[in-house]
Amino acid sequence: GDSVTQTEGQVTVSESKSLIINCTYSATSIGYPNLFWYVRYPGEGLQLLLKVITAGQKGSSRGFEATYNKEATSFHLQKASVQESDSAVYYCALKNYGSSGNKLIFGIGTLLSVKP
């Protein structure tokens, strides 16, 4: 079945440094899945950070970027300069309508801790 693997556990980055959280996926069926990054800030619900539905395209939001790389089956999340307010849990997810219907399939989540 479809699956998502992302950087596990906690990532600690100093403020103003760069960040990368790795995400790779496995998707069955012909066609390409839609790819997402969701974020959960402390005490809040899951929010969509960015999504890309076309292979080869890049999504961006709040300084974060992710490129849909179908050859590498990757969708890594990057930011050039993190801020303390970026501290949150980040989830990579896919939706593969052809094989998994309308449900989102999530990675395990990566806790980003930004040190001042």
Q: Residues in the site for other proteins, rule: CB under 8 A? A: 34, 38, 43-48, 51, 53, 91, 97, 101-109
Which C-beta is closer to other proteins: that of 29 or that of 97?
97
Which C-beta is closer to other proteins: that of 45 or that of 116?
45
Rounded to a whole number of angstroms, the minimum distance from the CB of residue 104 to other proteins is 6
Which C-beta is closer to other proteins: that of 18 or that of 29?
29
SS3 33: coil
Rounded to a whole number of angstroms, the minimum distance from the CB of residue 106 to other proteins is 4
Task: Give residues with Cβ within 8 angstroms of 37, minimum separation 6.
Answer: 23, 48, 49, 50, 51, 59, 64, 66, 75, 77, 90, 91, 92, 93
Rounded to a whole number of angstroms, the minimum distance from the CB of residue 48 to other proteins is 5
